[in-house]
């Protein structure tokens, strides 16, 4: 049945309207990043007085802001970036592994205890960090969780809620027949998870991984409270220490370091975005 020309015109207009609306929304989100980029190459004075203007011949300083920010103080920026990478990779890997296994087990067992743990994980998402931060800081010191190699345990606790919620929703869509076939072939629970379930969880793992990486990489408060700042600094803490005496801030150097901190996350997202929309489990069982 062919559509009428009038209905086709209305559909075309609605698509144009939606395209215009979402284009405006995209520009609103991209504009702050654009402001950071242009101010990273301007002198500090011009950043304050000509924030939204493009760099000119007078205000352009090249990579001086990057050099100034990376060499500010006695703590090297490369070291801060290394600690941020270690914390982000370890924390994200621990969250993905533990929460995906827990979500799969709770969904397949589906007992009262499992449902109770699931609801506790979901409830943890609404608990504000400020309620537990002082107790957490003291507990982390007592348990010696105040290093870049142990703080992932704390991130696992705070990141489990969202991750379990997303993994549980995806596990429900995985046909049980696949796991039953693996059990008939002699696979135990561990082999079934790593060889059958985990590959099908890849789209959700990438989605959860992006969310967790963006949160942990940009997190300031938790490392600031838990880590020994004389020995360990992450990128957000290092940027905060660009503030000088009497509250003076070198905005040019700050924008330069913020730009450096944005680039890895953007590159990671661009490399992984094609995997987010793939449904690996779709059509796995035929007939």
Q: Provide the CATH number for the domain around residue 146.
A: 1.10.3720.10
Which structural domain, as residue segments, surrounds residue 154?
Answer: 77-233+261-276
> Tell me, what DSSP letter sits at residue 4?
P
In a domain, 180, yes or no: yes
Distance CA 276, CA 274 (A): 6
Q: Which pLDDT score is estimated for 182?
A: 86
Q: Which pLDDT score is estimated for 244?
A: 58
In a domain, 137, yes or no: yes
In a domain, 126, yes or no: yes
Q: Which pLDDT score is estimated for 94?
A: 95
Q: Cβ-count burial of 36 within 10 angstroms (0-12 exposed, 13-18 middle, 19+ buried)? A: middle
Q: Which pLDDT score is estimated for 287?
A: 36
Q: Which pLDDT score is estimated for 284?
A: 36
In a domain, 8, yes or no: no
Q: Which pLDDT score is estimated for 151?
A: 93
CA 64 vs. chain centroid, Å, equals 29
In a domain, 64, yes or no: no
In a domain, 253, yes or no: no
- Please identify every stretch of the chain with a pLDDT value under 70, giving residue numbers as ranges: 1-6, 243-248, 275-287
What total number of domains does the chain contain?
Answer: 1
Nearest in space to 91 (alpha carbons), one of 30, 153, 43, 24: 153
pTM given for the model: 0.83
In a domain, 270, yes or no: yes
- Residue 217's φ and ψ, nearest 5 degrees, are -65, -40
In a domain, 40, yes or no: no
């Amino acid at each position: 049945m062919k559509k009428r020309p009038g209905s086709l015109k209305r559909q075309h207009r609605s698509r144009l309207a939606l395209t215009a609306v979402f284009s405006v929304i995209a520009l609103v989100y991209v504009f702050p990043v654009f402001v950071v980029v242009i101010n990273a190459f301007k002198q500090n004075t011009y950043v304050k007085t000509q924030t939204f203007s493009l760099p000119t011949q007078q205000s352009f300083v090249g990579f001086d802001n990057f050099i100034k920010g990376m060499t500010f103080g006695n703590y090297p920026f490369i070291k801060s970036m290394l600690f941020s990478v270690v914390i982000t990779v370890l924390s994200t890997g621990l969250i993905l592994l533990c929460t995906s296994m827990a979500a799969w087990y709770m969904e397949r067992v589906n007992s009262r205890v499992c449902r109770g743990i699931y609801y506790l994980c979901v409830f943890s998402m609404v608990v504000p960090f400020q309620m537990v931060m002082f107790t957490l800081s003291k507990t982390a010191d007592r348990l010696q969780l105040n290093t870049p190699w142990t703080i992932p345990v704390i991130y696992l606790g705070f990141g489990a809620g969202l991750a379990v919620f997303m993994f549980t929703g995806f596990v429900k869509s995985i046909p049980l027949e696949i796991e039953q076939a693996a059990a008939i072939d002699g696979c135990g629970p561990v082999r079934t998870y790593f060889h059958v379930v985990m590959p099908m969880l890849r789209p959700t793992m990438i989605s959860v991984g992006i969310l967790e990486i963006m949160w942990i990489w940009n997190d300031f408060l938790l490392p600031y409270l838990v880590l020994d700042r004389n020995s360990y600094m992450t990128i957000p803490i290092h940027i905060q220490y660009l503030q000088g005496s009497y509250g003076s801030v070198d905005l040019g150097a700050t924008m330069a370091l913020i730009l450096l901190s944005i680039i890895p996350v953007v590159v990671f997202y661009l490399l992984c975005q094609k995997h987010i929309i793939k449904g690996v489990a779709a059509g796995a069982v035929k007939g």
